[in-house]
Amino acid sequence: MSGTLRIGLIGCGEIAIENAKAIQSAPNAAMTMVMDVNPAVAEDMARRYQLPFTTSADELLSRPDIDAVLVSVPHFLHAPLTLQAARYGKHVMVEKPMATTLADAEAMLTACREAGVKLSVVYCQRYLPYVQKARAIIQQGALGRLLGLTLIHYLDKPVSYWTGGRTGRVATDWRFSKEKGGGGILVFNLVHYLDLIQYITGLEATRAYSEYGIFNSPSTVETEDTISVSLRYRQPNEAGADQLIGNVTAASCVRGAVMAHQQLRIWGTEGQLIVGEPFQFYSLHRVDHYNPGEWHTLVDWEWGIERREYVQHFAQAVLCGEEPPVSPADSCSVQAIIEAIYASQESGHPIEIEAIRYAI
């Protein structure tokens, strides 16, 4: 394989605009062809980059000048298109969430492993500079033993969002469907943070309890617009008591919150940090050149690089035989948390996540 990963873009809707930019800006990747079942949308994307287009996934996947695909389609199509790509021997990047069910996610992992191709979910927010900083601070031990975390996430999804997304690029009916979307604000938005919490802290979720509802969305919407979740976490592969409790609150019906407001606070025995805008931390230890026992606010981050960084690292993983930037095991872990959260609401009880993971 050459020093450039040749990528086919499957799906040319709203998020594909950003994914195409990321591919073309990564120094070790190039887009070869685009595909969408809507010929007008596919042609529009192809025209932007002077590339061939097709409405057939088989046609794109059968091309020898494509090494990998980036799947940017509605959630319910993630699994079938990933399985199809694996049969053709193509490496796969797939948009979040990994799938609409844990069973589908596990099937994707198995198919790609058996085909000898790499699979990674686009949890690109790992590459936000302040996320990398938070992870480094915790890995240095600057917060001591972790004790707790809270996450709040508020945004406003207008009526038009449910049938056209944020931009209205494509008229759709899948966002408000439980079967096609897999859920509401949990799988559309919070899923990034479920991944980030594990990535930043190194902890794994063990139990979930949730309450959610539909309080201020159009009558056609079948999925939650408000959710509150309590999660227990512990060190991976360690028996015994859980280490901390995390509390998550989110809503997509907060009028006036056109730009999402989110804040993740993590604290331990010797300090705390706030992942958000601004990024702040306090530690009893010196961190880099920052004095101990004081609050510090960090600004001037480089913005808009996370998708490019993700694609660049995935391309490097394929070209150099390394692990992908987000492992399929990590993504299945997030999918198990999602499934436990929904099962908790249905049962009215906390759900052990290991029981969910190993029941299939």
- pLDDT tens for each residue of 22-58: 999 999 999 999 999 999 999 999 999 999 999 999 9
CATH number at 206 reads: 3.30.360.10
pLDDT of 243: 85
Identify the CA nearest to 325 among candidates 143, 169, 199: 199
CATH number at 94 reads: 3.40.50.720
Q: Is residue 320 part of a domain?
A: no
Please tell me the distance from the alpha carbon of residue 299 to that of residue 278, in angstroms, as a whole number.
Answer: 7
Q: Cα 211 to chain center, whole Å?
A: 22
pLDDT of 6: 99
Whether residue 71 sits in one domain with residue 83:
yes
Please tell me the distance from the alpha carbon of residue 136 to that of residue 118, in angstroms, as a whole number.
Answer: 26
Q: Is residue 192 part of a domain?
A: yes
Identify the CA nearest to 29 among candidates 350, 229, 352, 314: 314
Which DSSP category does 253 fall into?
B
Give whole-number Cα distances, 145 to 43, 175, 178, 239, 246, in Å.
53, 40, 39, 17, 14
Q: Is residue 259 part of a domain?
A: yes
Q: Give the domain range for residue 116.
A: 5-123
Whether residue 99 sits in one domain with residue 147:
no
pLDDT of 303: 84
Q: Is residue 42 part of a domain?
A: yes
Whether residue 24 sits in one domain with residue 103:
yes
Whether residue 180 sits in one domain with residue 111:
no
Whether residue 116 sits in one domain with residue 261:
no
The structure tokens listed for 79 are 């699994």
Q: Is residue 329 part of a domain?
A: no
pLDDT of 357: 62
Q: Is residue 84 part of a domain?
A: yes
Where the chain has pLDDT below 50, the residues are 359-360
Domain-terminating residue out of 88, 108, 123: 123
Whether residue 148 sits in one domain with residue 101:
no
Whether residue 134 sits in one domain with residue 29:
no
Domain count, the chain: 2
pLDDT of 360: 45
Whether residue 94 sits in one domain with residue 71:
yes
Domain-terminating residue out of 91, 123, 155: 123
Whether residue 195 sits in one domain with residue 265:
yes
Whether residue 131 sits in one domain with residue 114:
no
Q: Is residue 318 part of a domain?
A: no
pLDDT of 148: 96
pLDDT of 356: 64
Alpha helices in the chain (DSSP H): 14-25, 39-49, 57-61, 78-87, 102-115, 129-139, 161-164, 178-181, 185, 191-201, 306-320, 328-347, 353-357
Whether residue 281 sits in one domain with residue 132:
yes
Domain-terminating residue out of 96, 123, 150: 123
Q: Is residue 16 part of a domain?
A: yes
The structure tokens listed for 175 are 């966002």
Please tell me the distance from the alpha carbon of residue 73 to that of residue 257, in angstroms, as a whole number.
Answer: 26
Please tell me the distance from the alpha carbon of residue 67 to that of residue 278, in angstroms, as a whole number.
Answer: 39
Please tell me the distance from the alpha carbon of residue 250 to that of residue 184, in angstroms, as a whole number.
Answer: 11
- Determine the 3-state secondary structure of 249 from DSSP: strand
Whether residue 92 sits in one domain with residue 175:
no
